[in-house]
Structure 1
Amino acid sequence: MKKVKRDFKSDFSNLEKKFEEYKKLAKENLEGWQRAKADYENLKKRSAKEFEETVKAANEQLIVDLLPVVDNFNNALKHVPEDQKEGDWIKGILFIKRQMEDILTSQNVVPIESVGKKFDPKLHEAVGRAKGKSEKSKKEKIVEEIQRGYMLNGKVVRAAKVKVS
């Protein structure tokens, strides 16, 4: 039988090279997986935030759509004849109006106080001037509220329409 001479140094060197190649490949795969995992986590966070913002926007739109209903209750109640103000039907309407206002309050909707306050263009929309008042009044005070304004979570969702002095 013939003996085969092996070059163990060469074999070992080749194995070391292969080992380094596989080690490098494993590192690249691990880094790629870590990047993919981080991307996925960021996507989850971004998706959750977008969903939250969508719900918030839909909620805001629903509230804005309900504000004219509250206005209509207030306007209707202003025109109830004196002799009918204590009637059960009017009491029921007042209860429904209060219920609507309670729902808005529970959703952090706050009416903007206007009459007697200084005009603020961030909160108020001037729709006229009070009769007999100077055009050059430096401190424009609100003398009449035409339509109530509202804020939702500190953000104006409808400016108050007012008359100023």
Structure 2
Amino acid sequence: MSDKDTKKEHEHEELQENTANAATEEELNQVDETAEQANAEAQQQDSTAVELAEMKDKFIRLMAEFENFRRRTAKERLELIKTAAEDVMTDLLPVLDDMDRASQSVGSAKDIEAVAQGLDLIFHKLKSVTIQKGLKPMETKAGDEFDSDFHEAVTQIPAPSEELKGKIVDVIEKGYTLNEKVIRFAKVVIGA
């Protein structure tokens, strides 16, 4: 072999060695990149898991807080319902006392006119107490238009006149509103 051949062979070996080294470095770089990506993904999964745990904790606390709020408001509502009538009943006690006195005096009363006046006074006292509490009678009379928001048709009769067809002919029972809310519909008869 000549020097040239040896030199070529030597260069060829060096080239193979360099190529092998380059391939190895490239593989090592790829392995490093893959390891870095895996590391980054693991860190992201860890941070996501921590964030999920925090969210679960917040959710559980919020649910417990809401449940406590619901129980507390239900308890307060029950207490309010139990004591809601107390105020009205306290205001009606004087009227009840007056009715007791009136019923006792009816048997021994000689003047029926005095008894009637006493009952009239008691009725006015009762009316004023109910008005103070927001109770108002509905103004319903024969000839008014029927309104299902305020009236309840008990029956329908032939209209005595043409103008009363579809209108209120008679009021059987007064209707009442409590603070602008209907608590009893006026019972009426409608002309057909």
TM-score, structure 1 normalization: 0.50
Q: Which amino acid aligns with 2:174?
A: R
RMSD: 3.8
Structure 1 counterpart SS, 2:145: coil
Instruction: Name the CA distance, whole Å, in 2 between partners of 1:41 and 1:132.
Output: 60
Query: Is residue 2:189 matched to residue 1:163?
Result: yes
Structure 1 counterpart SS, 2:124: helix
Post-superposition offset of 1:145: 1.7
Q: Show the counterpart of 2:45.
A: none
**CA separation of 1:145 and 1:45: change in aligned 2, threshold 3 A:** same
Query: Is residue 2:147 matched to residue 1:120?
Result: yes
Query: Is residue 2:166 matched to residue 1:140?
Result: yes
Q: How many residues align?
A: 115
Q: Show the counterpart of 1:129.
A: 157
TM-score, structure 2 normalization: 0.44
Post-superposition offset of 1:90: 0.9
Structure 2 contact 165–190 (Cα < 8 Å) conserved: no
- Gaps of at least 5 residues in structure 2 are 1-49, 90-110
Identify the structure with bigger relative contact order (alpha carbons < 8 Å, sequence gap 6+). Answer: 1
Q: Which amino acid aligns with 1:164?
A: I
Q: Which amino acid aligns with 1:142?
A: I
Percentage of matched positions with identical amino acids: 24
Selected match of 2:121 from 72, 95, 99: 95
Give the helix-richer structure, 1 or 2: 2
List 4+ stretches of structure 1 deviating above 6 A: none
Instruction: Name the CA distance, whole Å, in 1 between partners of 2:118 and 2:158.
Output: 36
Q: Show the counterpart of 2:177.
A: 151
Instruction: Name the CA distance, whole Å, in 2 between partners of 1:108 and 1:95.
Output: 20
